Structure formats: structure tokens, C-alpha cells
Amino acid sequence: MNHSIHSADRSTHLKIVVVALVAGIAVAAFGISARTGADYSQTAQVVKAGKAVIVTSSSTTTVR
């Protein structure tokens, strides 16, 4: 029995690729199914700017 991936035969490489693909698909499916169960509705809220305020080093505010 050889414990190196470099000297493994073609069928061993194919088995590793298939197992990795199945595991990746399973993780992706689990993530998608877990996310669609929650209600993540995003609504846009408009924030209007107020008056411009400048703070100086003398701790006074000037409203323009």
C-alpha cells in the first residue's frame, strides 16, 4: 500500500475528485437551504441630510 498521492493510480485520483465534488455540493446545498428558511427582507430607508454643522477647536458650533 502506497501512502503518497503522487504515485497513486488513476482510479484513486478519480475517487478523490468525486468525493470532494460531492462534499462541496453537500455544503453548498446545506448553506442554501439554511439561508432560505429565514426572512431577510431588505427595505431601503431614505435618510435626509440636516443642516451643515462645523465644529471648531473652541467647542462652538456654527450653523450655515
DSSP letter at 60 equals -
Torsion sign (Cα): 31, 32, 33, 35: positive
The number of CA neighbours under 13 Å toward the Cβ of 13 is 6
Q: How many C-beta neighbours within 10 Å does residue 8 have? A: 13
| Residue ranges covered by each domain of the chain | 10-63
- Reported as a pLDDT band with limits 50, 70 and 90, residue 64 is low
Task: Note whether 54 and 62 are within 8 A (CB).
Answer: yes
pLDDT in tens, 8-50: 888 989 999 999 999 999 999 998 887 755 566 677 788 888 8
